[in-house]
Amino acid sequence: MEYKKIVYVICFLAALGGLLFGLDQGFIANSLPTIREVYGLNVEQASNYAAVLATGGVVGALLSGAFARFFGRKRSLVLAGLLFSGMSILSAFLPSFFILNVCRAGLGFAVGVASFIVPLYLSETAPAKIRGSMGTLFQLMITVGIFLIALTNVVIAKIFTSAHVALPLMFIVIALFSLIMFFGALTLPESPRWLMLKGKKDKAISILQNVLNSQSEVDFEIKEIEATIKNNQNTASISMIFKGYFLKVVIAGVLLQVFQQLVGINMMIYYAPTIFGYAGMTGILALLIVPTVNMLFTLPAVKLVEKWGRKKLLYVGAVFMFVSLLAAAFAFQGIGGATDANLISPVYKHILLVSSVVYIFGFAVSWGPVAWLVCSEIFPLRVREIGMTITTMVNWTFAGVVMSKSLIVMKTFGDASIFYVFAVFCVLAVVFVKFFIPETKGVTLEEIEMNLEKGVPLRNLGKVE
């Protein structure tokens, strides 16, 4: 089925919120040496600075549910873009390291809000048949942000050899990119489901008429949303939290986000140049291979998530990541404690490089976009903000653990150790998906909610009689 072009424009503009997430991930990967030089940081201080983002992300996620409920999805996105731009500009003045950390926490707050709002907005606005594809745009924009800022940081570092000149420029560039998202968010319509919750039916109908193909589709959507709201109108959100069916999907969403982080993606995104440096690999290839592959391989997910479905992609991605993590561990064991690049066999370097590419491919087509997508689909409308607040906070909490501890674990237990740890979580993730994650391809949010209230098992929520 073909949809109006305005549908894709709206979803693309909303997905620009993912750009904030990607900008910061890519920023740290290739600016960390420059930051360490300007502020005189050791490995532990640098890792803690990178991880401060997650602290801000947790707080942002915690408050995002309230923002989304009371101010709406659109205004919350505008706030995130404005705050991110402001914190980036302030950082460009190279303030004290304490203020720089405060700014980074502010950036994390903005990204925490965006990482909550964007999947929610896309799931509530996109038609059911293309909800998966449009939902993956969030992850695609994350990868675009990672690539763009990684590329510009490499160029800046090559042109401006003085760290005190290069670092402010790096922050200015990230601010310019974030302003694009800010102005894009200003043009968005509000979520029709949020408008219905607020009793603004006429506005909701007007927006649905712009994005759906016929009045009959609009009437069907309005009828389903009204039925969902009516079923829950006598139940306060706080009481619904303690209902068995809500707790089921919360646990599923929480574990999905835990596994998304514990397969190790933030180690690869944030520290790939550092890890390659441990293996004696430097230069443009080592700096840009991960962000480039991450962006290119997220593109297939936009189509595959509707063709193959959510669960199959999660299985495939976990297998690819498992194999590549074992290969990377093997390479580092072969390298041993060698510090002279000339003494490291090219075979191990090539294995590490190829395994990194395969790993990023596995994550980019599966756990990257699908974890956010499923979490945006499985929660009942009246408590959707609460459910996504919890799962987004969990994501940021475990992202912080991975960011702050990965390099320290490698230093303490050997470079190969962390790869074995993440490989084990890939296996556990497959088992978890098999028994607890539903296939939601092509099913409306209201149908998923009705199945949930009927007591349908988690893995069957997407089956419609």
HEC secondary structure over 333-370: HHHCCCCCHHHCCHHHHHHHHHHHHHHHHHHHCCHHHH
Q: How confident is the model at residue 12 (pLDDT cuts 50, 70, 90)?
A: confident
Q: How confident is the model at residue 278 (pLDDT cuts 50, 70, 90)?
A: low
Is the per-residue pLDDT at 441 higher than 90? no
**Residue that wins the pLDDT comparison between 463 and 215:** 215
pLDDT digits (tens, 9 = 90+) for 31-47: 878 888 899 888 778 77
Asked if residue 452 belongs to a domain, the reply is yes
Asked if residue 194 belongs to a domain, the reply is no
Max mean pLDDT among 157-161, 323-327, 406-410 falls in 323-327
Asked if residue 204 belongs to a domain, the reply is no
Asked if residue 202 belongs to a domain, the reply is no
In whole angstroms, what is the distance from residue 313 CA to residue 363 CA?
Answer: 10
Quote the pLDDT of residue 257: 93
Structure tokens at 392: 């987004």
Query: What sign does the CA torsion over 60, 63, 66, 67 have?
Result: negative
pLDDT digits (tens, 9 = 90+) for 189-211: 888 888 888 888 899 888 888 87
**DSSP secondary structure code for residue 126 in this structure:** S
* 118-127 residues labelled b (16+ CB within 10 A) or e (exposed): bbbbbbbbbb
Asked if residue 213 belongs to a domain, the reply is no
Q: Kindly give, in sequence order, each residue whose CB lies less than 8 Å from that of residue 74, ignoring residues fewer than 6 positions away.
A: 121, 185, 188, 189, 190, 191
Contact 188, 194 (CB under 8 A): no
Is the per-residue pLDDT at 320 higher than 90? yes
Asked if residue 206 belongs to a domain, the reply is no
Contact 143, 291 (CB under 8 A): yes
Domain that holds residue 283: 5-188+235-460
Quote the pLDDT of residue 56: 86
User: What pTM value is reported for the model?
Assistant: 0.72
Return the amino acid letter for 366. Answer: S
Is the per-residue pLDDT at 386 higher than 50? yes
Asked if residue 392 belongs to a domain, the reply is yes
Is the per-residue pLDDT at 347 higher than 90? no
Asked if residue 199 belongs to a domain, the reply is no
The count of structural domains within the chain is 1
Contact 79, 112 (CB under 8 A): no
Over residues 415-440, the mean pLDDT reads: 91
Return the amino acid letter for 186. Answer: L
Mean pLDDT rounded to a whole number for the chain: 83
Q: How confident is the model at residue 283 (pLDDT cuts 50, 70, 90)?
A: low
Cα 289 to Cα 147, 267, 286, 396, distances in angstroms: 9, 15, 6, 25
Q: State phi, psi for 2 to the nearest 5 degrees.
A: -90, 145
Quote the pLDDT of residue 236: 47
Listed range (102-111, 198-207, 217-226) with the worst mean pLDDT? 217-226
Cα 372 to Cα 68, 185, 189, distances in angstroms: 17, 20, 22
% pLDDT > 70, the chain = 90
**Residue that wins the pLDDT comparison between 171 and 49:** 171
Instruction: Look up the CATH number of the domain holding residue 131.
Output: 1.20.1250.20
Max mean pLDDT among 76-90, 131-145, 384-398 falls in 76-90
